[in-house]
Amino acid sequence: MSNTALLERPAATAVRPQASAAAPLAADLPAVRSPRGFALYVGLDEIKAAEAGVSLPLLVDALRRTLAELAPGAETHATVALAPHGSGGRDLDVVRLALQEPGAIARTKAAAEEDSTDEEGGVVVDISRKRVLIDGESAAFTYKEFELLQYLVLREGRTIERSELVSALWQAQDDETPGERTIDVHVRRLRAKLGRYEDIVRTVRGIGYRFDRHADVVIRYGHGTPSPDRF
């Protein structure tokens, strides 16, 4: 990839301002507030930049040159977000948090508050992290056991037939695809690990199983509530 042509000047017709719901014209904004600039967050570490044949300083310089050409009067400031080696996480999230972006701070605070409740009693079904906490301790659920509980939880109040559980959670080519009655064995194992909270998975005699809202159960969906059809 050429490093001298990272950004091209857009055609004249492309830079003409147009009104949109996402970026209203200044005339449409309240008189007490007006835009004074913008921030562009770029999530990219040095290794990924090198693999693309560029570097962070080169990208910053290319952006500045393009901006100077399009809007000579604009002022710019660039800063690099630093994180400890091996800290993990998405590059863009690290940048947003390092630059004190309000949304990133709010999400980090919410995650910390969730973690602080892990010591409380009851059952926490954490959909976003694929885990179950029982009285503050992580339960040793297998992948299938979690899927089974999750399937019922996301269909709260609805009785799920055994045949639906089998078809939804096991593929036809699976070596250990259970029969409709064998699903009872999986439910018993699930209940055994729930211990004194086993009654959160209710048996509907002759039909299947159901999860009802329960005072001892907290469901964590992460960012937004997932549609049952996604699982």
Model confidence pLDDT, tens digit, residues 74-98: 999 888 888 777 666 778 878 887 7
The C-alpha atoms of residue 48 and residue 176 are separated, in whole angstroms, by: 42
pTM to 2 decimal places: 0.48
Q: Give the model's pLDDT for residue 175.
A: 57
- Tokens 């570097």, located at residue: 55
Beta strands in 135-212 (DSSP E): 137-138, 160-161, 201-204, 208-211
Percent of the chain beyond pLDDT 90? 20
Q: Pseudo-torsion of CA 46, 49, 53, 57, nearest 10°?
A: -70
Mean pLDDT of the chain: 77
- Tokens 């709010």, located at residue: 106
164 contact partners, CB below 8 Å, separation of at least 6: 208
Token pair of 97, please? 């948090």
pLDDT tens digits, residue range 12-25? Answer: 444 444 444 445 55
Mean pLDDT (whole number) for 90-107: 78
Q: Give the model's pLDDT for residue 14.
A: 43
Confidence grade of residue 111 (pLDDT, cut at 50, 70, 90): low
Token pair of 126, please? 């954490």
46 or 22, greater pLDDT: 46
Range 85-119 burial, b when 16+ CB lie within 10 A, else e: eeeeeeeebbbbbeeeeeebeeeeeeeeebeeeee
Strand arrangement of the beta sheet that strand 123-126 belongs to: 137-138, 131-134, 123-126, 217-220
Helical spans, DSSP H, in 27-101: 46-51, 56-70, 91-98
pLDDT tens digits, residue range 131-160? Answer: 899 988 888 888 889 999 999 988 888 999
pLDDT tens digits, residue range 208-224? Answer: 999 987 888 888 875 44
